[in-house]
């Protein structure tokens, strides 16, 4: 490609609404152009990256035996009503009506449509396993789209769906996809982790996220440096503490803590470790009758150590809270505790609540909690003496760095990541809802065992940038760079030697199948180099009259801080070596 025939558009400044570096750099390098909130044009430079991501994904999906289809962007609501998602999905699902007033949705994923295909087309166990995938435009009407392609509304996703005859077979399909994702992410040239994720109602460990490591990532990734354990924060289990509970040493005392309504403030005031304090979280569950009318509500008190955070996914698995919960209202809190939040605790309640105690709290002695009296906390609280032994103990908290790894092989560390892929065992959730069966080898119909597997095609470049950039711009891995090599001739219009050398090298690289761009815009050197550093092409060759006079050109990798002189007649071999050709 020659720059004069391409479309290069760079900007010194990023727009004010670009909060994260990938968004800023994608806008400044002209990869994308905003059309509306969370809706972007993929400009020529950005589309090249997207197409390379697609090509790698497609190649590896095909290699894994998956078959490509394409399901419509606009899908009839009927199928979505079969699974109930048309109603359940909320405002993120963009619903539309056609000219005849019939309901449609714009696909955010395609479980319903692919299950509809399977129930019509896959009639016998002999046709299984089958994995159908598409690379297609999706839409999610995010309430607050932001961060450019990181959380856009319209985006491109690769979504794959496997159909198997048994749970065992489905696990093989899952493992096949997991291995395929590793090949895909290896090829992208990014640092990533496959982390265990919560599989919701389906249970088991068959849900993993592929996270691109980046300090700016939205997700916390928990991993064990001494083993291969990795999970997202939602999923990572906090092991039961190994020690025994210390014996009570202090007397139960109501201690004045005026204006100190948080655990850190109380710990500071009393000069104790935050880990000796206990925070009280008040939840409520509602009991409805057949008509959906509220019969009664029930109040729950969760106790966590002052230095720990509640994990909503784990709380949602506590018996009694697993059908849904909410935070209690101010009125409910006052009725049960006789006190405002900030000084709540499990002692001296006005009305009974159900106590759920985090594993770590259950082994504490001489702890501190709210007194249910404004401006006071209880100190020297002890289980079995000041209140009954906890009946309901569970893992309620996020792990923290230094916790024991669940595999017992070390302690956990935490880093940040960006989710760009997800492999998920679905079981028969969709096949049952849509009565999708095949004829088993026993001659009887059985529900498909399904899995689904996504890769955020347009999010991936953003994640790659979050991981690979510097103050000058983007640093693309070779595999997904818009161009692999850029040739920068200086004063090409005025020097035949420069023109001939640049042209010859360009032709030689094209003949080798290298994705090269020749910057023939005749820009001045500074502007030209700044453009290509911003755009992030990994390999750059500068060709100048001065260099040619001494028989050299300059090569610089985007990660290097200085250019190196290479003999003019050795540059092609040099590039081949750097490109691994």
Contact residues for a second copy (CB under 8 A)?
A: 5-7, 9, 33, 35-36, 39-44, 47, 50, 65, 67-76, 91-92, 94, 96, 98-99, 104, 106, 113, 116-117, 120-121, 130, 132, 137, 139, 141, 143, 153-154
Buried b / exposed e along 84-119 (16+ C-beta atoms within 10 A): ebbeebeeebbeeeeeeeeebbbbbbbbbbbbbbbb
Shortest Å distance, C-beta 522 to a second copy: 11
Task: Give Cα separations from 442 to 35, 86, 173, 236, 437 (angstroms).
Answer: 55, 35, 22, 40, 13
Q: Which is nearer to a second copy, 53 or 378 (CB)?
A: 53
Q: Which is nearer to a second copy, 95 or 472 (CB)?
A: 95
Q: Which is nearer to a second copy, 136 or 280 (CB)?
A: 136
Query: Would you call 381 exposed, middle or buried from its count of C-beta atoms within 10 A (0-12, 13-18, 19+)?
Result: buried
445-448 contacts, C-beta under 8 A, 24 or more apart: 446/165, 448/115, 448/118, 448/119, 448/122, 448/128, 448/163, 448/164, 448/165
Shortest Å distance, C-beta 494 to a second copy: 18
Shortest Å distance, C-beta 84 to a second copy: 19
Q: Which is nearer to a second copy, 91 or 389 (CB)?
A: 91
Shortest Å distance, C-beta 7 to a second copy: 5
Shortest Å distance, C-beta 100 to a second copy: 9
Question: How many whole angstroms separate alpha carbon 402 and alpha carbon 392?
Answer: 25
Shortest Å distance, C-beta 67 to a second copy: 5
Query: Would you call 326 exposed, middle or buried from its count of C-beta atoms within 10 A (0-12, 13-18, 19+)?
Result: exposed
Task: Give Cα separations from 70 to 40, 58, 134, 139, 317 (angstroms).
Answer: 22, 13, 5, 15, 37
Question: How many whole angstroms separate alpha carbon 165 and alpha carbon 437?
Answer: 9
Q: Which is nearer to a second copy, 136 or 372 (CB)?
A: 136
Helix residue spans in 468-517 (DSSP H): 496-511
Shortest Å distance, C-beta 149 to a second copy: 12
Question: How many residues comprise the chain?
Answer: 581
Shortest Å distance, C-beta 37 to a second copy: 8
Please name every residue paired with 277 in a beta bridge, in sequence order, or none if there are none.
368
Shortest Å distance, C-beta 23 to a second copy: 17
Q: Which is nearer to a second copy, 19 or 91 (CB)?
A: 91
- At a CB cut-off of 8 Å and minimum separation 6, what does 287 contact? 294, 295, 296, 297, 298
Q: Which is nearer to a second copy, 116 or 234 (CB)?
A: 116
Question: How many whole angstroms separate alpha carbon 397 and alpha carbon 279?
Answer: 12
- At a CB cut-off of 8 Å and minimum separation 6, what does 403 contact? 238, 239, 411, 412
Question: How many whole angstroms separate alpha carbon 58 and alpha carbon 64?
Answer: 10
Q: Which is nearer to a second copy, 153 or 336 (CB)?
A: 153
Shortest Å distance, C-beta 116 to a second copy: 8
Shortest Å distance, C-beta 386 to a second copy: 50
Q: Which is nearer to a second copy, 94 or 272 (CB)?
A: 94
Q: Which is nearer to a second copy, 36 or 352 (CB)?
A: 36
Query: Would you call 201 exposed, middle or buried from its count of C-beta atoms within 10 A (0-12, 13-18, 19+)?
Result: exposed
Whether the CB-CB separation of 421 and 185 falls below 8 Å is answered with yes
Number of CB atoms found within 10 A of residue 199's CB:
17
Q: Which is nearer to a second copy, 116 or 358 (CB)?
A: 116
Q: Which is nearer to a second copy, 65 or 204 (CB)?
A: 65
DSSP element (H, E) containing 475: none
Whether the CB-CB separation of 248 and 367 falls below 8 Å is answered with no
Shortest Å distance, C-beta 400 to a second copy: 36
Q: Is the peptide bond before 428 cis (omega within 30 degrees of 0)?
A: no
- At a CB cut-off of 8 Å and minimum separation 6, what does 316 contact? 322, 324, 325
Task: Give Cα separations from 433 to 12, 108, 165, 303, 447 (angstroms).
Answer: 53, 19, 17, 38, 10
Shortest Å distance, C-beta 524 to a second copy: 15
Q: What is the DSSP string of 360-384?
A: HHHT--SEEEEEEETTEEEEEE-BT
Q: Which is nearer to a second copy, 75 or 431 (CB)?
A: 75
């Amino acid at each position: 490609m020659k720059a004069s025939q391409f479309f290069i558009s760079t900007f010194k400044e990023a727009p004010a609404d670009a909060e994260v570096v990938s968004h800023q750099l994608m806008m400044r390098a002209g990869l994308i152009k905003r059309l509306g909130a969370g809706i972007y044009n993929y400009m020529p430079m950005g589309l090249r990256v997207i197409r390379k991501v697609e090509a790698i994904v497609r190649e590896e999906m095909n290699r894994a035996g998956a078959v490509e289809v394409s399901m419509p962007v606009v899908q009839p609501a009927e199928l979505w009503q079969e699974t109930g998602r048309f109603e359940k999905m909320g405002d993120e699902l963009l619903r539309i009506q056609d000219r005849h007033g019939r309901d449609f949705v714009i696909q955010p994923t395609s479980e319903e449509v692919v299950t509809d295909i399977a129930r019509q087309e896959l009639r016998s166990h002999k046709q299984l396993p089958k994995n159908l995938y598409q690379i297609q435009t999706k839409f999610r009407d995010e309430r607050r789209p932001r961060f450019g392609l990181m959380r856009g509304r319209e985006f491109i996703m690769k979504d794959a769906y496997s159909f198997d005859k048994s749970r065992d077979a489905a696990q093989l399909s899952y493992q096949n996809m997991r291995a395929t994702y590793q090949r895909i992410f290896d090829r992208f040239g990014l640092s990533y982790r496959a982390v265990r994720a919560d599989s919701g109602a389906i249970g088991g460990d068959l849900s993993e996220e592929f996270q691109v490591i980046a300090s700016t990532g939205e997700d916390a990734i928990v991993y064990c440096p001494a083993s291969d354990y990795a999970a997202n924060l939602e999923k990572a289990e906090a092991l039961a503490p190994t020690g025994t509970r210390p014996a009570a040493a202090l007397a139960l005392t109501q201690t004045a803590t005026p204006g100190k309504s948080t655990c850190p403030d109380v710990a500071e005031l009393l000069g104790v470790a935050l880990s000796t304090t206990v925070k009280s979280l008040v939840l409520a569950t509602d009991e409805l009758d057949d008509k959906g009318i509220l019969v009664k509500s029930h109040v729950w008190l969760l106790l966590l150590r002052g230095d720990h955070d509640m994990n909503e996914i784990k709380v949602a698995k506590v018996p009694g809270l697993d059908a849904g919960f909410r935070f209690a209202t101010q009125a409910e809190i006052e009725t049960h505790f006789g006190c405002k939040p900030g000084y709540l605790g499990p002692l001296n309640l006005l009305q009974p609540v159900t106590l759920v105690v985090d594993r770590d709290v259950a082994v504490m002695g001489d702890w501190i909690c709210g007194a249910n009296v404004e401006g006071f906390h209880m100190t020297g609280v002890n289980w079995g003496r000041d209140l009954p032994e906890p009946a309901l103990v569970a893992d309620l908290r996020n792990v923290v760095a230094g916790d024991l790894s669940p595999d017992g092989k070390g302690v956990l560390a935490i880093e940040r990541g960006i989710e760009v892929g997800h492999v998920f065992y679905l079981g028969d959730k969709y096949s049952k809802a849509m009565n999708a069966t095949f004829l088993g080898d026993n001659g009887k119909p059985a529900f498909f065992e399904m899995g689904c597997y996504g890769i955020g095609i347009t999010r991936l470049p953003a994640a790659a940038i979050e991981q690979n950039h510097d103050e000058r711009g983007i640093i693309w891995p070779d595999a997904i760079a818009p161009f692999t090599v850029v040739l920068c001739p200086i004063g090409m219009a005025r020097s035949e030697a420069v023109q001939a050398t640049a042209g010859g090298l360009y032709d030689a690289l094209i003949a080798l199948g290298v994705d090269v761009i020749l910057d023939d815009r005749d820009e001045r050197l500074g502007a030209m180099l700044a453009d290509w550093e911003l755009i992030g092409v990994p390999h750059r060759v500068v060709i100048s009259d001065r260099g040619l006079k001494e028989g050299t050109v300059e090569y610089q990798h985007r990660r290097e801080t200085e250019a190196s002189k290479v003999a003019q007649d050795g540059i092609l071999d040099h590039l081949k070596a750097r490109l691994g050709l």
